[in-house]
């Protein structure tokens, strides 16, 4: 379909590339709106936070490697474990998955751009500033020390009079704003910017996973925003939402937090399954077996994910009948996940499988995630849950689920898509060592924690007495952590090496079937010189040689084809926004507001002024003479007309 | 790998009816999950072998119909296994939730940062017993433990006897348990409760009905009078230092209610909620600087002359 001879003339191509280019230079760097540029920033930033969170984990493992250790005092230990959890959930896991979505969803649906590119740029700055804010607080000895769950009354000012709990609550605000905005952009991109012919029934499973996740973000995040805002109000202006002394309720927090917190696990894990489906399909050289079943599994997981939150609260003493419903829901959610696993096995069973580095990580995912899923079913049982809840058994369980279900697929994704993003390949030889070390190190670290939990070791303790007999297994876990650290270090070295010295990647090195491989590696500014159309789920495998392309879009303006939600029939054209520095400035203004409001409620009032000013700048309309969009809906709700070339040309 | 400590705070060495039922559920789950794990990973391995062989030798592709049936069967089996586990879970839940017995020992456990306040109920108020950090329970008799917290959320967990229950300020909830063998066990706070969450243990002694009643009788006595001049001096130092502001010793003017009751401190085996063994040396060190062994706890350092500290220790050591 994308034969070289199909390309438009060099002049048109140049103009198209120019139109979609982000400005260069230092000032231009703050104006980027290209989803590939923002996506790369998301991935690099989130991975950097993964490394920092990993360093914190290593410090904890050092402290716990022997009983009665005094390497860290309890105050620092509590800051470290709280910051580790907060970092991994809010600054790594969610953003890195959204980063993959920002980079690949537009490419996979055959679009020129992500929807609302300035909003996505703004989200990135919020993530970055939120992360800097958290770690600046850490260096100022003001990092959160009440856990990533921040339970009141411990997080109330009576028991945490310092600013540490406020730092946590505002970090939540930063990352929530960012992830909500990205979710909206990904949903709109998926539903309205698909290539003609890509009906919902042909949507790549990775994109389905991102779509489902984004809807989960929309429904889950408001609960924690509400909760963290109420906590800030309790601390800042003396409301009593969670204050038991004044008719507040300590359990209310837990319901709100876990109504978000449990779906959060699936917000991290569902994109992981999308990666698994994509890579298994590619390396089995066949369409995903049971596409419909897999998609329905994703959707039903998302629905059920909202009905499980009480299993984080089984120890609080809720009525037994009520708990039983949540036990049943928590057990039943294993069915859609099991269905996906069986479909993956069937795909490999009936495909032509080659095992390359991404596939190694997927096989590792199978071994580890299945263990985590099975201990998850154990945790759904109330009686067993009350024994192992808040022990190292649970620490083991959720690291098997989250590292198994998200980090293993993520490493698979790094190896799979690195050639597309960078245009060069990671080393196969080093890749095998990275995988081997990580797999062994992971199991050495986390498997013993199951046993420690059963033998009574609670979570979040900064030390333990030698007489408890937990020393040996803890030492083993710490050794495993060192092995994992070596693996990650080796990966980083290889990733940096391959930037300049990796072998040059072909456009479609894995012979994959989805549209991101239909363009060059790395893709041009416009993604596709000619926008593709599709006639199957795996267009590169199934499109006939004479598959038409989209013509009639302007090359001198950011002209985008908008299609219908269900059948992706062309609907109208739309001009997309130009690069702008205003999202960056708005993010700075919002940062000032968020941080100021920790110290005084007036920060919200006066801090709103710069936010308002920057937003006016952001949305200031251009007249049609300046190249702006004429008033909606009177113009540009037209379909491409190849015979009617506007000034500047079309392709 | 696990040595001496494992028997006193382990899910796997139950010493009571409830912990035993949960242990049975654990064993059932463990075996079922092991089988499921082997089956899943086994099929993945076979799929991988067949898939790679097809790449090399062009093995025939299985019919989509056969594949669909296999996946459907696997899903159906999954549902059946899960339903079985759900029933087992509900069954165990019913067995462990309550005993509904009239003869139950009723104990109130209240969480504090970072120690346990323990009160044995009695119809006669004067016969109630108030102590801290050490729980005595009779064997073969139902016990109801009513839990709440005075400050933040804690969680009461003695794995040898029963699952954990959170101590939530503003709520009082009850758990039932019954010990079935005598022994010394250990519990530990399981909900993160701040700086010294790691040092909030409770010693649990299960003993015969007779020994238990004897212990209760001892606990009901006021603190004994100092037997000699050294202990006498110790009591005077205690009462004139700031100790009585927080601690109570029944039978003296010390009646503080915000820290552990010391009326029978010498009968307890640990100090600082399981932080140190209760020896005279440890007690002296604790009184002088409690921040050393348990940094951040709410007891201030007491810069008393060494001889005063030793006198106080001598006095407290008589409070059996």
The answer to whether the Cβ–Cβ distance between B152 and A461 falls below 8 Å is no
Rounded Cα distance, B222 and B226, in Å: 12
Who among A315, A316, A456 is closest to B10 (CB)?
A: A456
With a cut of 90, say whether residue A546 has pLDDT above it.
Answer: no
Torsion sign across C-alpha atoms A473, A478, A484, A486 = negative
User: Are residues B82 and A334, on separate chains, in Cβ contact within 8 Å?
Assistant: yes
The whole-angstrom separation of Cα A198 and Cα A207 is 12
Distance between CA atoms of residues A208 and B15, nearest Å = 50
- pLDDT class of A621 with cuts at 50, 70, 90: confident
- Minimal CA separation from A265 to chain B, in Å: 21
B7 vs B13: CA distance, rounded Å: 6
Flag if B75 and A350 touch (Cβ within 8 Å).
Answer: no
- Rounded Cα distance between A161 and A134, Å, is 18
The arithmetic mean of pLDDT across residues A406-410, rounded, is 98
- Judge whether A21 is closer than 8 Å to chain B, CB to CB: no
CA distances from B262 to A448, A496, B130, B270 (A): 40, 63, 10, 12
Mean pLDDT of the A514-543 span? 94
Non-local (6+) Cβ contacts of A193 within 8 A are A106, A109, A111, A112, A113, A114, A115, A560, A561, A562, A563
Q: Can you list the domains of chain A with their CATH numbers? A: 35-518 (1.20.210.10), 543-626 (no CATH)
Q: Residue A284's closest CA among A199, A343, A201?
A: A343
- Contacts with B, A 386-405, CB within 8 Å: 386-391
Q: Give the tokens for residue A389.
A: 């809840």
CB A183, CB A249: distance < 8 Å: no
Shortest Cα distance, chain B CAs vs residue A290, angstroms: 8
Structural contact between residues B8 and A356, judged by C-beta atoms closer than 8 angstroms: no
| Contact yes or no for A613/A551 (Cβ under 8 A) | no
Residue A521, both tokens: 């590696």
Question: Which residue is closest to B52 within chain A, CA to CA?
Answer: A353
Least confident of A66-80, A535-549, B129-143: A535-549
d(CA A131, CA A108): 29
Alpha-carbon gap, residue A242 to A250, rounded angstroms? 5
CA distances for A93 relative to A89, A98, A105, A353, A496, angstroms? 5, 9, 18, 29, 22
- The first and second tokens of residue A71, run together, are 């390497």
Measured between CB atoms, which of B48, B162, B191 is closest to A348? B48
Least Cα separation, residue B45 to chain A (angstroms): 9
Q: Is B108 on the interface with A (CB under 8 A)?
A: no
Q: Is B127 helix (H, G, I), strand (E, B) or coil?
A: helix
Instruction: Judge: B78–A338 Cβ closer than 8 Å, yes or no.
Output: yes
Partner-chain contact A378 B1, CB within 8 Å = no
Residue B122 tokens, joined: 């009695």
Q: Residues A574, A640: contact at Cβ < 8 Å? A: no
Tell me the average pLDDT across A451-479: 96
Q: Which two tokens stand for residue B182?
A: 């005598």
Residue carrying the six token digits 């007690």: B283
Look at residue A602 and tell me whether its pLDDT is greater than 70.
Answer: yes
Distance between CA atoms of residues A59 and A478, nearest Å:
10
Tokens of A238: 């003396």
Are B203 and B184 within 8 A, CB to CB? yes
Contacts of B40 in chain A (CB under 8 A): 341, 345, 366, 370
**Which pLDDT tens digit goes with each residue over A120-152?**
999 999 999 999 999 999 999 999 999 999 999
Q: Taking residues A62-73, report their average pLDDT.
A: 96
Distance CA A489, CA A384 (A): 38
> How many Å lie between the alpha carbon of B170 and the closest alpha carbon of chain A?
6
Q: Inter-axis angle of helices A392-402 and A250-284, to 10 degrees?
A: 40
A537 vs A200: CA distance, rounded Å: 10
The strand ranges marked E within A484-641 are 559-563, 570-575
pLDDT band with cut points at 50, 70 and 90 for residue B4: very low
| DSSP for A393-430, written as a single string | HHHHHHHHHHIIIIIHHHHHHHHHHHHHHHSBPPPHHH
Q: In angstroms, rounded to a whole number, what is the distance separating the alpha carbons of residues A238 and A246?
A: 10
Tokens, residue A185: 């952009």
pLDDT of residue A5: 43
Q: CB–CB of A377 and B29 under 8 A?
A: yes
- Which string of DSSP letters, residue by residue, matches A303-328? HHHTT-GGGG-GGG---HHHHHHHHH
CB-CB neighbors (< 8 A) of A396 in chain B: none
Angle at alpha carbon of residue B314, lines to B309 and B315, rounded to 5°? 100
What mean pLDDT is predicted for residues B125-142? 95
Is B188 in a helix, a strand, or coil?
strand
Contact yes or no for B47 and A73 at CB 8 A: no
Superfamily of segment(s) B1-212: Cupredoxins -  blue copper proteins (2.60.40.420)
Asked if A114 and A186 count as a contact pair (C-beta separation under 8 A), the reply is yes
ipTM for the predicted complex: 0.96
Q: Is the pLDDT of residue A365 over 60?
A: yes
By C-alpha distance, which of A169, A626, A384, A586 is closest to B92? A384
Q: How many angstroms separate the CA of residue B75 from the nearest CA in chain A?
A: 6
Token duo for residue A177: 């704003």
What is the count of residue pairs from A and B with beta carbons less than 8 Å apart?
Answer: 267
Question: Is pLDDT above 80 for B5?
Answer: no
Residue of B44, B151, B204 for testing the chain A interface, max A β-carbons within 10 Å: B44
First to last CA, chain B: 37
- For residue A212, give every residue at least 6 positions away whose Cβ sits within 8 Å of its Cβ, in sequence order, or none: A270, A298, A299, A301, A302
Q: Which of residues 37-76 of B touch A (CB under 8 A)?
A: 37, 40-41, 43-44, 46-48, 50-52, 54-55, 61-62, 64, 67-68, 70-71, 74-75
Query: How is residue A563 annotated by DSSP?
Result: E
Q: Is the pLDDT of residue A644 over 60?
A: no
Shortest distance between the Cα of A270 and any Cα of chain B, in A, equals 19
Q: Which of residues 1-40 of B touch A (CB under 8 A)?
A: 1-6, 9-12, 19, 21-22, 25-26, 29, 33, 36-37, 40
**Domain regions of chain B by residue span:** 1-212, 229-316
Q: What pLDDT shows up at residue A637?
A: 52
- Locate the chain A residue with the closest alpha carbon to B5: A468
Q: What is the pLDDT of residue B1?
A: 41
Find the distance separating the first CA and the last CA of chain A, reported in whole Å: 16
Instruction: List the one residue out of A256, A284, A288, A254 whose CA is nearest residue A273.
Output: A288
A9-26 average pLDDT score: 90
> A441, A426, A425, A429: which is closest to A487 by C-alpha?
A441
CB of B182 closer than 8 Å to CB of B206: yes
The residues, ordered by sequence, that sit 6+ positions from B219 with a Cβ below 8 Å of its Cβ are B120, B129, B131, B263, B264
Judging contacts by C-beta atoms under 8 Å, the chain B residues touching residue A327 are: 86, 89-90, 93
B9: closest chain A residue by CA: A456
* Residue in B3, B113, B171 nearest the CB of A469: B3
Phi, psi of B152 (to 5 degrees): -105, -175
Share of chain B above pLDDT 90, in %: 91
B154 at A interface, C-beta within 8 A: no
Give residue A629's pLDDT band: very low, low, confident or very high (50, 70, 90). Answer: low
The dihedral sign for the CA sequence A155, A159, A163, A164: negative
Q: What number is the average pLDDT over the span A231-247?
A: 93
Mean pLDDT across B223-239: 94
Q: Measure the CA–CA gap between A261 and A492, rounded to whole angstroms.
A: 30
Q: Is the pLDDT reported for residue A622 higher than 80?
A: no
> How far is Cα A234 from Cα B275, in angstroms, rounded to an integer?
34
Could you give the 3-state DSSP secondary structure of residue B132? strand
**Other C-beta atoms within 10 Å of A609: how many?**
12
Strand (E) or helix (H) holding B105: strand B105-112
* Coil, helix or strand at residue A103: helix
Q: What's the rounded Cα separation, in Å, for the pair A284 and A511?
A: 11
Would you state the pLDDT for residue B97? 83
- pLDDT score for B103: 84
Q: Residue A320: its pLDDT value, please?
A: 87
| Mean pLDDT computed over every residue of chain A | 93
pTM: 0.95
Share of chain B above pLDDT 70, in %: 98
pLDDT at A289 over 90: yes
Q: Tokens 């996906």 — which residue?
A: A340
Residues A63-80, buried b or exposed e (16+ Cβ, 10 A)? bbbbbebeebebebbbbb
CATH assignment, B229-316: 2.60.40.420
Model pLDDT, residue A625: 65
> Cα(B249)–Cα(B264) distance, rounded to whole angstroms?
8
Compute the average pLDDT of residues A266-270: 96
Is the confidence at residue A630, as pLDDT, over 60?
A: no
CA closest to A73 among chain B residues: B295
Higher pLDDT, B309 or A624: B309
Of A491, A496, A583, A485, residue with least CA distance to A128: A583
- Is residue A150 within 8 A of residue A144, CB to CB? The reply is yes
Which residue of chain B has the CA closest to A383? B93
Q: What band does A545 get if pLDDT is binned at 50, 70 and 90?
A: confident
Residue burial A292-325, b: 16+ Cβ < 10 Å; e: rest: ebbbebbbbbbebbbbbbbbbbbbbbbeeeebbe
- Give residue-wise pLDDT tens across range B55-72: 998 888 899 999 999 999
């Amino acid at each position: 379909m994308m034969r070289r001879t199909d390309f438009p003339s060099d002049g048109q191509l140049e103009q198209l590339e120019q139109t979609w280019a982000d400005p260069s230079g230092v000032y231009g760097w703050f104006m980027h709106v290209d989803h590939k540029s923002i996506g790369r920033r998301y991935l690099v930033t989130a991975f950097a936070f993964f490394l920092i969170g990993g360093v914190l984990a290593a410090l904890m493992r050092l402290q716990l490697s022997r009983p009665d250790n005094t390497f860290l005092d309890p105050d620092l230990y509590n800051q470290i474990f709280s910051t580790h959890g907060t970092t991994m959930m809010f600054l790594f896991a969610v953003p890195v998955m959204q980063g993959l979505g920002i980079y690949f969803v537009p490419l996979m649906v055959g679009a020129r751009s992500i929807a609302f590119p300035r909003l996505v740029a703004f989200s990135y700055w919020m993530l970055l500033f939120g992360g800097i804010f958290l770690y600046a607080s850490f260096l100022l000895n003001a990092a959160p020390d009440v856990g990533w769950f921040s339970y009141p009354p411990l997080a109330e000012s009576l028991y945490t009079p310092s600013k540490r709990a406020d730092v946590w609550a505002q970090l939540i605000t930063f990352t929530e704003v960012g992830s909500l905005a990205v979710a909206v952009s990904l949903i709109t991109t998926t539903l309205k910017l698909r290539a003609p012919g890509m009906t919902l029934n042909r949507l790549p499973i990775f994109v389905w996973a991102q779509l489902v996740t984004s809807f989960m973000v929309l429904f889950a995040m408001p609960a924690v925003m509400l909760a963290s805002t109420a906590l800030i109000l309790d601390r800042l202006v003396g409301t009593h939402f969670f204050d038991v002394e004044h008719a507040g309720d300590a359990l209310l927090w837990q319901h709100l937090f876990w109504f978000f917190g449990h779906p959060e696990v699936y917000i991290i894990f569902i994109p992981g399954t999308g990666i698994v489906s994509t890579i298994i399909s590619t390396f089995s050289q066949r369409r995903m077996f049971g596409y419909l079943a897999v998609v329905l599994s994703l959707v039903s997981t998302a629905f059920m994910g909202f009905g499980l939150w009480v299993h984080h609260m089984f120890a609080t003493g809720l009525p037994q009948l009520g708990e039983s419903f949540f036990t049943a829901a928590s057990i039943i959610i294993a069915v859609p996940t099991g269905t996906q696993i069986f479909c993956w096995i069937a795909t490999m069973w009936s495909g032509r499988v080659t095992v390359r580095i991404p596939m190694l990580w997927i096989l590792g995912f199978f071994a580890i995630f299945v263990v985590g899923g099975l201990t998850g079913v154990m945790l759904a049982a109330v009686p067993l849950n009350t024994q192992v809840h808040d022990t190292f058994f649970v620490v083991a369980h959720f690291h098997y689920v989250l590292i198994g279900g998200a980090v293993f697929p993520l490493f698979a994704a790094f190896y799979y898509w690195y050639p597309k993003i960078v245009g060069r390949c990671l080393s196969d030889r080093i890749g095998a060592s990275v995988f081997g070390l990580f797999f062994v190190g992971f199991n050495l670290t986390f498997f013993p924690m199951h046993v420690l939990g059963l033998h009574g070791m609670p979570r979040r303790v900064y030390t333990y007495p030698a007489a408890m007999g937990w020393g040996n297994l803890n030492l083993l876990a710490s050794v495993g952590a060192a092995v994992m650290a070596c693996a990650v270090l080796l990966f980083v070295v290889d990733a940096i090496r391959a930037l300049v010295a990796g072998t040059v990647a072909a456009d479609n090195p894995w012979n994959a079937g989805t549209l991101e491989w239909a363009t060059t590696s790395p893709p041009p500014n416009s993604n596709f010189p000619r926008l593709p159309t599709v006639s199957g789920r795996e267009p590169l495998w199934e499109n006939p040689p004479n598959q038409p392309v989209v013509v009639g879009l302007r090359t001198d303006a950011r002209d985008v084809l908008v299609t219908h939600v269900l059948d992706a029939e062309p609907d109208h054209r739309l001009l997309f926004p130009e690069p702008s520095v205003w999202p960056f400035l708005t993010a700075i203004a919002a940062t000032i507001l968020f941080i100021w409001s920790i110290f005084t409620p007036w920060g919200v009032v006066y801090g709103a002024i710069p936010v308002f000013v920057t937003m006016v700048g952001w949305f200031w309309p251009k007249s049609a003479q300046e190249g702006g969009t004429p008033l909606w809906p009177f113009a540009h709700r037209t379909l491409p007309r190849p015979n009617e070339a506007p000034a500047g040309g079309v392709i | 790998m696990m040595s001496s400590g494992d028997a006193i705070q382990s899910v796997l060495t139950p010493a009571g009816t409830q912990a035993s039922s949960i242990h049975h559920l654990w064993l059932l789950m463990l075996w079922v999950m092991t089988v499921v794990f082997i089956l899943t990973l086994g099929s993945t391995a076979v799929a991988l072998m067949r898939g790679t062989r097809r790449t090399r030798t062009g093995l025939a592709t299985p019919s989509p119909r056969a594949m669909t049936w296999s996946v459907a069967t696997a899903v159906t089996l999954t549902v059946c296994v899960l339903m079985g586990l759900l029933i087992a879970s509900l069954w165990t839940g019913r067995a462990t939730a309550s005993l509904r017995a009239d003869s139950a020992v009723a104990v109130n456990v209240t969480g504090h940062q970072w120690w346990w306040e323990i009160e044995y109920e009695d119809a006669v108020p004067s016969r109630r017993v108030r102590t801290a950090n050490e729980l005595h329970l009779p064997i073969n008799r139902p016990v109801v433990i009513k839990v709440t917290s005075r400050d933040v959320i804690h969680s009461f967990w003695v794995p040898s006897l029963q699952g954990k229950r959170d101590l939530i300020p503003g709520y009082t909830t009850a758990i039932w348990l019954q010990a079935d063998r005598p022994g010394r066990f250990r519990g530990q706070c399981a909900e993160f409760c701040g700086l010294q969450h790691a040092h909030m243990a409770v010693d649990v002694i299960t003993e015969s009905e007779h020994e238990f009643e004897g212990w209760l009788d001892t606990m009901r006595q006021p603190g004994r009078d100092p037997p000699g001049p050294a202990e006498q001096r110790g009591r005077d130092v205690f009462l004139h230092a700031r100790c009585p502001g927080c601690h109570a010793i029944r039978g003296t003017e010390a009646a503080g209610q915000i820290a552990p009751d010391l009326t029978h401190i010498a009968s307890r085996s640990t100090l600082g909620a399981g932080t140190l063994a209760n020896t005279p040396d440890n007690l002296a060190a604790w009184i002088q600087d409690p921040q050393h062994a348990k940094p951040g706890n709410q007891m201030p350092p007491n810069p008393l002359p060494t001889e005063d500290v030793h006198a106080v220790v001598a006095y407290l050591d008589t409070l059996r």
